[in-house]
Amino acid sequence: MIEYTELKEDRRKFLALTGLTPKEFKVLLPALVQATEQHAARQQTTAKQKRQRAVGAGRRRVLTAPEQQLLFILVYLKTYPLQVVLGELFGLSQPSVNQWIHRLLPRLQEALDTLGVKPERDGSHFARAERSHPEARDYIIDGTERRRNRPKNPEKQPLFYSGKKKVHSDKNVLIVQTRSKRVGYLSPTYSGKTHDKKVADNEQIAYPRRSTVRKDTGFQGYEPARTQTHQPKKSRVAKP
């Protein structure tokens, strides 16, 4: 079973399983604890019903420690395993895994919002959201893909097949601040076949004035208003 107390000693493995360093994990943990306390104070069950017992009553939970709860949801988001597999890793049944995922995901979103690192999801609001951040308007835009199960419907299979990755996938476009590495924008999810530039065009992303946008060849021809774009040139192959 994965234990936070043991995993935190191996920085490389910790990063591979959670996507965060132990230092970043410690920054996020208090915000998750705060979000959990706020949920408990509402005196409602997960089903939005009035509590019949005090908070903490009932059967003893396996994921009691806040560190273990945060580790659980980060491993789920980073590796996206089957719920049965995640249950084996954390000593839970599959139904319990499902319940914990639905319980912790909203709290994690609130924690990210509290820390001011929750990415904007509406492209037209990106410029406005960036006003609260004093960093230089220097960004990197890129597409990211994650594997998904092949759709059973034969008509849907070509839509999700990424020729670049040679797998069926889902795609999102990210905008990241170059120095702080903060993810400022996360697009809605598209099928893996969708071109990076098409996603950016569809979302009509509004950038702050005098922004610098660094892009790769997947965004060839993408020239948003009020920005200066930079695209690296392909290196020439040396002739024999």
pTM of the full predicted structure? 0.76
Is residue 60 scored above 70 in pLDDT?
no
Q: Where are the domains of the chain?
A: 4-52+61-114, 123-230
Bridge partners of residue 177, in order along the sequence: 139
* Range scoring the smallest mean pLDDT among 49-63, 101-115, 193-207: 49-63
Query: Using 50, 70 and 90 to split pLDDT, how confident is the model at 49?
Result: low
* List of residues 6+ apart from 1 with CB closer than 8 A: 89, 90, 91
Query: φ and ψ at 39, to 5 degrees?
Result: -65, -40
Q: How far is CA 12 from CA 18, 28, 85, 88, 168, in A?
A: 10, 18, 21, 22, 28
223: left (phi over 0), alpha (psi -120 to 50) or beta: beta
Arithmetic mean of pLDDT, 46-58: 57
How many other CB atoms sit within 10 Å of the CB of residue 190?
Answer: 22
Here the tokens at position 156 are 């849907």
The residues with which 141 forms a beta bridge, in sequence order, are 175
- For residue 157, the SS3 value is helix
Burial of 59 (0-12, 13-18, 19+ CB in 10 A): exposed
Fold of the domain spanning 123-230: Nucleotidyltransferase; domain 5 (3.30.420)
Please state, in angstroms and rounded to a whole number, the distance separating the CA atoms of residues 190 and 173: 9
Quick count: other Cβ atoms within 10 Å of Cβ 40?
13
Q: What is the pLDDT of residues 137-195, one digit of tens each?
A: 999 999 999 888 888 999 889 989 988 788 899 999 999 999 988 999 999 999 999 99
